[in-house]
Amino acid sequence: MEKDLVEYIVKTLVDDPAQVQLSVVEGEKSTILELRVAENDIGKVIGKHGRIAKAIRTVLQAATAKTGKHTVLEILD
């Protein structure tokens, strides 16, 4: 569920949605979502001073609050 949510949000932000890659690394107490986008779209996902990335992470935390698992979004270049 959280993967689909982040993927939907990111694909609406970027110019090249076909380049969006999101992989999930499951741990015991946490889940890591690794996000890769096209090089020219990285700024659109991070935003000025990281505001967009922070907003995506906040929505992700709210969506996964009931599960009790910590979910982390890593934006890779």
Sheet-wide strand order for 30-36: 21-26, 30-36, 70-76
Q: What is the pLDDT of residue 27?
A: 85
30 part of a folded domain: no
Residue 31 lies in a domain: no
Give the pLDDT score at 67: 81
Q: Tell me the pLDDT of the chain (77 aa) as tens digits.
A: 789 999 999 999 999 999 999 999 998 888 999 999 999 999 999 999 999 999 999 999 998 888 888 899 999 98
The residue range of the domain holding 15 is: 2-23+37-76
pLDDT at 68: 80
CA dihedral 31, 32, 37, 41 (to 10 degrees): 100
Point out which residues pair with 23 in neighbouring strands: 34
In a domain, 12, yes or no: yes
